[in-house]
Structure 1
Amino acid sequence: MPEDLDPPARRGHGRRDPGGGGRGLALPGLVVLGAAVTLLTVPLVLGQEEGWPLWGWFSLGLSVLLFALFMVLEARLARRGGAPLVSARVLRAPGMRRAVTVISLTMAANAGFLFAIALHLQSGLGDSALRTGLTFATCAVTFGAVGLNWRRLPVSWRPWLAPAGLLVAAGSFAGLGLALRGGGHGGALLYGTLLPLGAGLGLAFSPTLTLALGKVAPRDAAEASGLLATATQLGQLLGVATLGTLYLNRLDLPGAHPSAHAYAVTSAAMAAVSSVGAVVAVEWRRSGRRRA
């Protein structure tokens, strides 16, 4: 049979193409990563309800060890020529690690915000689910509008979109805490802070995701996309677990408006998380300029 008619598998003598398809499943790394994520998230989700028992702290410590073991297994697999779940080549892509951090912090703040304010509006202020959802709509509209239209801004602005967006979000979180700390609905100030909040989170998330994916090789696009999607989901989970726990812990304190006070404290924490994200995003921009 002529060589050009040979099946691809026979021409390659059964070897996998290192640059593309046919990747095997890195089962040990997958099992260790799944266990690490489970040991991290279960105590964060149940710790408040269970009174932070000893097993929760043990679980958190063990999760750190398993994350370290996962990195060792992935590095060893890559040295042997295997296909790790997250290749070092993708992690070395310009700005990828900082993009993962920025996206995780942005989604953590967003998820913590949605969790805490939903509980405050419904349980603390007695709003219906419909009214609460309509309150969120103002933030969702600006988030979506920014995500669809940020490419129309000048190209020279793009490196600064994420830092600016996170700073806007930090200011908006602080404004929400001030608007709601008295136990009322906040009036016009509530909506005046929700509108820029959605825009700020949109500027932090969508450009970071798009610009990070634009810096990886085409063959790594799927893997990089999966990595950033995982960062998004883990950020949301950790935001609910940590910021939500902070809100629930503050409900037990005495005061005329315990829910309002709890939400004000949580808003300050969300502003701090956003500010940290802004610092990371600025460093990403500076490092990109130095490489250029």
Structure 2
Amino acid sequence: MYRKKIILFILLIAAVLSPLDFYIVNLALTAIQQDLHAEPASLQMIVSFYTAAYAVFQITGGRLGDLMGRKRMFLCGLFGFITASLICGCAPDTTVLIAGRVLQGIAGAIMAPQVLAIIQVVYTPEEKIRVMGYYSFTFGLAAVLGQLLGGLLIAMNIAGLGWKVIFLINVPIGIVALIAGLKYLPEHKSEQQGPIDWLGICLLSACLLLVIYPLTCGFDLYWPLRIKVMLGMSIPVLLLFFWYENRLMQRGRTPLIDMRILRYPQLAGGIGTAFLFYTSGIFYLALGLFLQNGLHWQAMQAGLAIIPFGLGFLICSLAAASITRYIGDRILLLGISLYAAGFTLMIAALWQPAGQSGILFYVGLWVAGMGMGFTLSSIVRISLNGIPQAFIGLGSGLINFALQIGSALGVALIGQVFFDVAAGNNYAIAFRETLMVVVVLLLLALVPGYRLVRKQAAVKKGQA
């Protein structure tokens, strides 16, 4: 039992590092912008390229763990994350910082799938219920710590490092987990072996690069021909990827994505819901810039402002299991609705005269956090219910992939709305209009979400 507690401690440290970095960087963008004289497109790339790389290599990371060992790939991913954090913390310009963020995303994606895989091997079915509760809780914790810790570290300006310390703090934490992991983590490989689909990895990565880069930089570069060509090329590359994956299946080889998984409509509904839901990732970037550049708050003040959101996230993540006993899978629709309602309250607050919107704004943050807690704790579980065991790992990867790509595209596309309006120092208006776009997308997410819940009700009825 003592060894299992240590293993859980190691896994949760690793699980919290990647989402923590997402939240903490959003608060540091103003400091990065001032220190490195970064353009808006560079700020977007610092966020979106990390999430894109993290998404692209989720499936690859899981596959490498199958073939080369969970412990080995976990430690490789953790070492890579430590190294990439060091690169980011020493970056002299935005080019190096963006490159470091891409490496962080890749390393995090190699590490993350192994966490769930090791949990499946080490813990009994009864223990997994409690362990998975802790695992979900870490994402809410990351939302709170990312804002508070980011604001505190920047305000303290340790050794004159400024924003760089938010990356360097990962190094000692990661080293502790790395040393403990070498000693305590068990090794395990999947019984099903096969070659790695390297060409599939390259094609999928190229497709996403051809989409993310133009959407992030196209507006600032005034859409030159090369940007349009890149965006147009993403479609044939995607079609080539699907053709190649099907060809591998026909030859009896193992593709990166087994297309047979798309036969399950509940998974397709989950992917669509996850994608639309997580386009709201622009909220974190826009909130930090609005509070610091628009209201001229210090980083620590901005970090404290997110507390209502984080507390709602934490509490509802833990309460989701109990609520599900009463309303079933409809908790997903409740979560999305609360998330949209929270942003709507914040929009209403931003229409109020200055100094009269504080309480309503913070209530909106609280309600939005509740919605995030209910949704993230349920969407993967609901989407994978009824999926054969052979496809569970791939299905989890696809849902996480949809979440991360939704976030990256949200930052790239909706971010343009924010930066275009904020160009005249209209940060309050820019934040309000950004939230309005996000609310519309969340309402759209209710459509596949509703179909997903209905499909799951039919699946459970068939299983009864």
Length-normalised TM-score, structure 2? 0.55
**Shift of the alpha carbon at 1:89?**
3.1
Corresponding residue SS for 2:254: coil
Structure 1, 183-192 or 119-128: larger mean CA deviation:
183-192
Q: Is the 8 A contact 2:335 2:373 kept in 1?
A: yes
Matched, 1:148 2:318: yes
Matched, 1:269 2:437: yes
Q: Please give the root-mean-square deviation of Cα atoms over the aligned residues, in Å.
A: 2.1
Match of 1:24 among 178, 184, 195: 195
Q: Is the 8 A contact 2:385 2:456 kept in 1?
A: no
2:267 maps to a residue whose letter is M
Paired with 1:76 and 1:132, the residues of 2 have a C-alpha distance of 51
Alpha-carbon spacing, 1:184–1:56, altered in 2? closer, same or farther (3 Å): farther
1:67 maps to a residue whose letter is L
Alpha-carbon spacing, 1:99–1:55, altered in 2? closer, same or farther (3 Å): same
- 1:99-138 alignment runs, 5 A limit: 99-109=270-280, 111-138=281-308
Q: How far does the alpha carbon of each residue in 1:148-178 deviate from its partner, in whole angstroms, 9 at most, with x for none?
A: 2211124362321112221221222122122
**Shift of the alpha carbon at 1:91?**
2.6
Paired with 1:191 and 1:175, the residues of 2 have a C-alpha distance of 9
Paired with 2:374 and 2:228, the residues of 1 have a C-alpha distance of 36
User: Which residue of the partner structure matches residue 373 of structure 2?
Assistant: 202
User: Which residue of the partner structure matches residue 10 of structure 1?
Assistant: none
**Shift of the alpha carbon at 1:124?**
0.9
User: Which residue of the partner structure matches residue 409 of structure 2?
Assistant: 238
Q: How far does the alpha carbon of each residue in 1:49-99 deviate from its partner, in whole angstroms, 9 at most, with x for none?
A: 323333222222211221122112112211221111111233333511111
User: Which residue of the partner structure matches residue 454 of structure 2?
Assistant: 286
Q: Is the 8 A contact 2:418 2:433 kept in 1?
A: yes
Gaps of 5+ in 1: 1-18
Paired with 2:353 and 2:214, the residues of 1 have a C-alpha distance of 31
Paired with 2:367 and 2:455, the residues of 1 have a C-alpha distance of 28
Aligned-pair identity (%)? 26
Length-normalised TM-score, structure 1? 0.85
Paired with 1:260 and 1:167, the residues of 2 have a C-alpha distance of 24
Q: How far does the alpha carbon of each residue in 1:219-244 deviate from its partner, in whole angstroms, 9 at most, with x for none?
A: 32222222222222212211111121
- 1:182-201 alignment runs, 5 A limit: 184=354, 186-201=357-372
Corresponding residue SS for 1:71: helix
Q: Is the 8 A contact 2:324 2:331 kept in 1?
A: no
User: Which residue of the partner structure matches residue 86 of structure 1?
Assistant: 257
User: Which residue of the partner structure matches residue 8 of structure 1?
Assistant: none
**Shift of the alpha carbon at 1:202?**
2.0
Gaps of 5+ in 2: 1-189
Matched, 1:162 2:332: yes
Greater length-normalized contact order (CA 8 Å, ≥ 6 residues apart): 1
1:282 maps to a residue whose letter is Y
Q: How far does the alpha carbon of each residue in 1:190-217 deviate from its partner, in whole angstroms, 9 at most, with x for none?
A: 1110111011122222201122234322
Count how many residue pairs are aligned between Structure 1 and Structure 2: 270
Q: How far does the alpha carbon of each residue in 1:6-65 deviate from its partner, in whole angstroms, 9 at most, with x for none?
A: xxxxxxxxxxxxx95212111222111110011111112222332333322222221122
**Shift of the alpha carbon at 1:120?**
0.9
Q: Is the 8 A contact 1:20 1:219 kept in 2?
A: no
1:273 maps to a residue whose letter is L
Paired with 2:226 and 2:354, the residues of 1 have a C-alpha distance of 39
Paired with 1:147 and 1:283, the residues of 2 have a C-alpha distance of 23
Q: Is the 8 A contact 2:212 2:408 kept in 1?
A: yes
Corresponding residue SS for 1:51: coil
Paired with 1:183 and 1:23, the residues of 2 have a C-alpha distance of 63
Question: Larger helix proportion, structure 1 or 2?
Answer: 2
